[in-house]
Amino acid sequence: MADSGIPQNTIEILQKYDFRIQKKYGQNFLIDQSVLNRIVEAAGIEGDDCVLEIGPGLGTMTRCLAERAGRVAAVEIDRNLIPVLKETLAGYDNITLINDDILKVDLNGIVAELNGGRPVKVVANLPYYITTPIIMKLLESHVPLQSITVMVQKEVADRMQAGPGTKDYGALSLAVQYYAKPEIVANVPPNCFIPRPSVGSAVIRLTRYEKPPVQVRDETGLFTLIRAAFNQRRKTLTNALYNAQGLHVPKERTAQALERLGLPSSIRGEALTLEQFAALDFLIYAFYF
């Protein structure tokens, strides 16, 4: 079988199966072997690892993973790619191909069946339009994970690792950094894909914490507070929490909590660290509920 990591062979495979690239699935096939190697190396795949790949596409990266890992579970939503994958992955007996939607499939069930519930490593070239929902499902559903190494839009990668006071800092930054340590390991230009995306990409590795770096009253409550703070990020935190639908925290309560933290009542949410948000949630809950 032709190596789909080479551009002209990727085109040959697409033509052979008369495959039409689906914009609705955000399909951009990686064709640069050096980038492919960088992703696999950044993921730190070893012989006893079980890897969950999201969106195997033509199977290019799947084969690289299968050559290093003990087992690979590849979840592909596009049923038209299944015949292609069955051919490109022929000869590998350590790959389980799953035709399903990653946002709907029982990930904990997959991990339990294929790896006895032990932590897996996630590797993926993610569709840009649903990057955030996929990342948050992996983290919030508490699937046993060691790490997530993914190709995403450069802008989203920047947001994941951004710190307080920067333009990229927001609810996604805090959510990711609550669960994992983010690190951008490579920037990838558009010409590394077929078809070429209109924006730059980046490979980011999220190393899952055994325990979150902060103690929280309630995860759901904390992230409700954080989302409210950034939904109106140009407003002061006291106004943002007061105006938030379903929250409506009295301004004096937020001001009192901020005072206890040594912060001015005029501060905006974008200036608070994860630790400060967690402390604020404790204080507002004590005052208000």
What does pTM read for this prediction?
0.87
Per-residue model confidence as pLDDT tens digits over 38-94: 999 999 999 999 999 999 988 888 999 999 999 999 999 989 889 889 988 998 999
The answer to whether residues 153 and 135 touch, using CB atoms and an 8 Å cutoff, is no
User: Confidence band (pLDDT; 50, 70, 90) for 22?
Assistant: low
Per-residue model confidence as pLDDT tens digits over 130-164: 899 999 999 998 889 999 999 999 999 999 999 99
Return the sign of the alpha-carbon dihedral for residues 283, 285, 288, 289.
negative
Q: Which residues contact 17 (CB under 8 A, 6 or more apart)?
A: 80, 83, 84
First CA to last CA across the chain, in angstroms? 63
Percent of the chain with pLDDT over 70: 89
Q: All domains of the chain, ordered by start, with CATH?
A: 7-208 (3.40.50.150), 219-288 (1.10.8.100)
